[in-house]
Amino acid sequence: MIDMNSNDFREYGKQLVDWIADYLDHPDRYPVLSPVKRGEIKSQLPPTPPTTPETFDDILRDFDNIILPGITHWNNPAFMAYFGTTGSLPGILGELLTAGLNVNGML
């Protein structure tokens, strides 16, 4: 993916916010623990980076099909371990704002 203009950023950002909202509305549709075996994700990735830009839709599809199956889904209601830093919708928006400002929190 090449750099984008502000209109593309708005469009893709809305797609990602919708994706996150849908994910958080139904975290129980994913298994708590990843069923992926060691090396399975790597085996689905090309041996070299793409030589031409990929579309945002292709990147998001790869995320859904390759990366997401390898995730432990902490928001699943069946996740029974306590961890005091579970994400929240306001926290996600705060991280988006921080990323937009390119804040480097070093202290």
Task: Tell me which residue of 60, 64, 80, 3 sits closest to 30, measured CA to CA.
Answer: 64
Could you confirm whether domain 6-101 is CATH 1.20.1340.10? yes
- Span 17-57, pLDDT tens digits: 999 999 999 989 999 999 999 999 999 999 999 999 999 99
pTM above 0.95?
no
Identify whether the C-beta of residue 72 lies closer than 8 Å to the C-beta of residue 32.
yes
Please report, rounded to a whole number, the percentage of residues in the chain having pLDDT higher than 70.
93
pLDDT in tens, 47-64: 999 999 999 999 999 999
Place of tokens 């005091």: 84
The encoded tokens of residue 48 equal 């070299």
